Amino acid sequence: MGEIIEAEFAERTATDPMVPELFRIDRLKRETEDTFTLELVPVNQDVKISFLPGQFNMLYVFGVGEVAISISGNPALTSHLEHTTRRVGVVTKAMGLLKVGDTIGVRGPFGNHWPVAEEDGRDFVVVAGGIGLAPLRPVLYHLMAQRERYRNIVLLYGARSPEEILYKRELERWRGKFDLEVQVTVDRGSSGWRGNVGVVTPLVARAPFNPSNTVALICGPEIMMRFAAMELQKRGVPPERTFLSMERNMKCALGYCGHCQYGPTFVCKDGPVFRLDRIASIFGKGEI
């Protein structure tokens, strides 16, 4: 009887996107004071890991709740999943208390993805703010892995302070490459900081890319994305080649519950990546 139930459960898990899959925390990395990255491996070794840059998973801390978190790892690696998050709500605070070896429920991947496959020969400008770098990290891995397919690649990243810069070692490594421009700025410099101070959006004006042949990807607080989009438009990047990752209160991740409604769309199934011209009439509207 027990075997039959287990078999039924396994079948449901494989076909029902509402049923979480068990994953074990394989590694836990503290990124900043309140931000951490989980490396997750499936308990069931038959589970295949596959996702596209920009997609998200629903992570379930048992007994506490479920929360949507972008996938922040390398899409070419199928051995594990990576999720970077900040301890900010009930679920993520509980998640921050988990240890290596603990299990967590995972549903996904959900949502659409950053448009990279169909943009050969373009310049890419990636504008990230705060923890908004996490959903853009997979796309950076992809762009680097397929470097010969693209022209200039520019990463503009703004953080609150030097201590709150995500993926510091990786940024340093990327900056050291001669085929990627990385510019980092912080809102508040500390005494040892010798880099840019100020918001990320003015960096757009002087970044090395050809606006008429550029795809822009933006992720961060919505106000930052609005100003970044304005700067990109000033430079001449058309809205149909400007993409943003939106965030709303995602619950079911399948467009059933309506919690993440954004105008006529649901962020979970129609997004989270939106083309600027397609949301121009509602983007930045306080009522939406």
Partner 1 sequence: MVQSVESVIKKHPFFAEMPEKHLEFIAGCAKNVAFPELHAIFHEGDPANEFYFIREGLVAVELVIPHRGATTIQTVSEGEILGWSWASPPYRWHFGARTLQRTRALLFDAKCLRTKCDYDHDLGYELLSRFMGVISARLDATRLQLLDIYGRDN
143 vs 182 by CB, closer to partner 1? 182
Q: What Rg value do the Cα atoms of the chain yield, rounded?
A: 19
Q: Give me the residues paired with residue 261 across strands.
A: 266
195 vs 258 by CB, closer to partner 1? 195
Query: Closest distance between partner 1 and the C-beta of residue 235, in Å?
Result: 11
d(CA 250, CA 258): 8
35 vs 242 by CB, closer to partner 1? 35
Query: Closest distance between partner 1 and the C-beta of residue 187, in Å?
Result: 5
Query: Closest distance between partner 1 and the C-beta of residue 21, in Å?
Result: 30
Query: Closest distance between partner 1 and the C-beta of residue 157, in Å?
Result: 11
195 vs 264 by CB, closer to partner 1? 195
Residues of this chain that bind partner 1 (CB under 8 A): 34, 86, 88, 129-131, 158-160, 164, 185, 187-189, 191, 193-199, 201-202, 205-206, 220-221, 223-224, 227
d(CA 200, CA 239): 19
Q: Can you read off the two tokens belonging to residue 62? A: 């048992």
Residue 159's H or E segment, with its range, is strand 153-159
Query: Closest distance between partner 1 and the C-beta of residue 52, in Å?
Result: 26
18 vs 223 by CB, closer to partner 1? 223
Q: Which residues contact 126 (CB under 8 A, 6 or more apart)?
A: 136, 139, 140, 153, 154, 155, 156, 216, 217, 218
d(CA 106, CA 66): 9
